[in-house]
A and B are shown apart, each in its own frame.
Chain A
């Protein structure tokens, strides 16, 4: 299954969670997401998400200048972001459980359908 679409829905949550662990700059966040198992995550998507969360006030950012190369832009979580993280985590738990239940039920249903088709008892 193509996980890109799924990822889009939960990227905010995943990014908030990673930054909540520890402040990080763009590529650092990407790396930690990938290390966590989200191999397919595109770095531009992560950067975009970081900027959007920053714009909505969930993240704060600060620049760490570098003498030799381009500066790094770090992101940290704000109280707003923490609240959002908690809210979304709850939503996600609820959603995941619901979907899991649904999948479990549907697997039962499909078994039942098969049983009906073959004329067997329920």
Chain B
């Protein structure tokens, strides 16, 4: 007998596989069975006695001889599918390894892929959170940073998921911790990984296309815009409205409603309107009524920003809060109803050039009662 006995990787792998098939036994029983087995097998190989055979058969024989099958009567019946499943998994792995080791390039590629495993751990965590986002939120595009309610929440959940996934991957957390020794853990781990692979196309089909990706990326949880909403003029989107009183002076905070009392809101879609047409680096911000954002109160404040495709969450706390825009026309001609007495005009100096639209005769101011609001008969 040799005194120096070297275990080979083959023997170690074989013993690991035998051990896996005895995973239903208690730790003590299993150690009782496989303790010293490595030395025995190494010596057997050194004796020139062929290959070790099938670990499943070997484990079954070991178990039967040790009288453990008989003692676990009910277990014995589940042994069949259990062992065949282990055999299937191990067999696939062996075939894969054989395939990979066949040529040098494949071996290198596989080694490289193995190094990249941590990246997969992160990726699968991300996929899981995206799935959560998909199921939880309203119908919307998924975002690169999952938005579970709000950005902070999404980031926290993602971080937690990555930590869990990496712990599982490094074998510090179930099922990763027992994947080598306990069949259910191994099956669960395989199933989860396969599920993550399956999630890939699902998640990506819910990601915005290149057309919208910019907007979506910067405005998480922003609903997919309805491109028919809002006001239009001659086929062009109206992005802001400037109101003037009868005297022709600009007004602020005017709320507009249609004949049925519905708010006359402009489109909230940041992409519509002047940005794409003229390249204006301006973004409109709504008026507020508590938490409600109103787009039918004019003029809408605007904010100069580098990227006009998103709205900052709390714009008024930034260094550059939105401001009321300068009206396109400083004043407009005063107007009146034919039956009504017009207001006294403002100083004539600021009167714009004769671009009068509706007013019959702005050039003839007449004194009147100062009751524009009191008597304004509907037409």
The answer to the question of B39 belonging to the interface, with a C-beta cut-off of 8 Å to chain A, is yes
Minimum CB–CB distance for A58 against chain B, Å = 12
- The interface size bin for chain B is 20 to 34
State whether A48 touches B40 (Cβ < 8 A).
no
The main secondary structure of chain A at its interface with chain B is: helix
B37-79 interface with A by 8 A CB criterion: 37-44, 47, 58-59, 61-67
Please, which residues of chain A bring their CB within 8 A of the CB of B7? 69-70
Cα-based distance from A58 to B44 in the complex (angstroms)? 25
Please, which residues of chain B bring their CB within 8 A of the CB of A48? 33, 61-67
Please, which residues of chain A bring their CB within 8 A of the CB of B3? 66
- CB < 8 Å neighbour of A27 from B43, B58, B65: B43
The answer to the question of A13 belonging to the interface, with a C-beta cut-off of 8 Å to chain B, is no
A72-89 interface with B by 8 A CB criterion: 72-73
The answer to the question of B24 belonging to the interface, with a C-beta cut-off of 8 Å to chain A, is no
Cα-based distance from A48 to B34 in the complex (angstroms)? 9
* 0/1 string, A31-60, CB within 8 A of B gives 1: 100000000001111111101101100000
State whether B61 touches A70 (Cβ < 8 A).
no
Minimum CB–CB distance for B352 against chain A, Å = 99
Minimum CB–CB distance for B32 against chain A, Å = 5
Cα-based distance from A71 to B33 in the complex (angstroms)? 14
Q: A66-B5, A68-B4 are in contact. Are A73 and B63 (CB under 8 A)?
A: no
Please, which residues of chain B bring their CB within 8 A of the CB of A52? 65-67
Cα-based distance from A16 to B176 in the complex (angstroms)? 42
Please, which residues of chain B bring their CB within 8 A of the CB of A46? 65
A residues touching B (Cβ–Cβ < 8 Å)? 11, 25-28, 30-31, 42-49, 51-52, 54-55, 63, 66, 68-73
8 more contacts with CB within 8 A, not counting A26-B37, A26-B39, A68-B4, are A25-B39, A26-B40, A43-B44, A47-B37, A47-B65, A48-B64, A48-B67, A70-B39
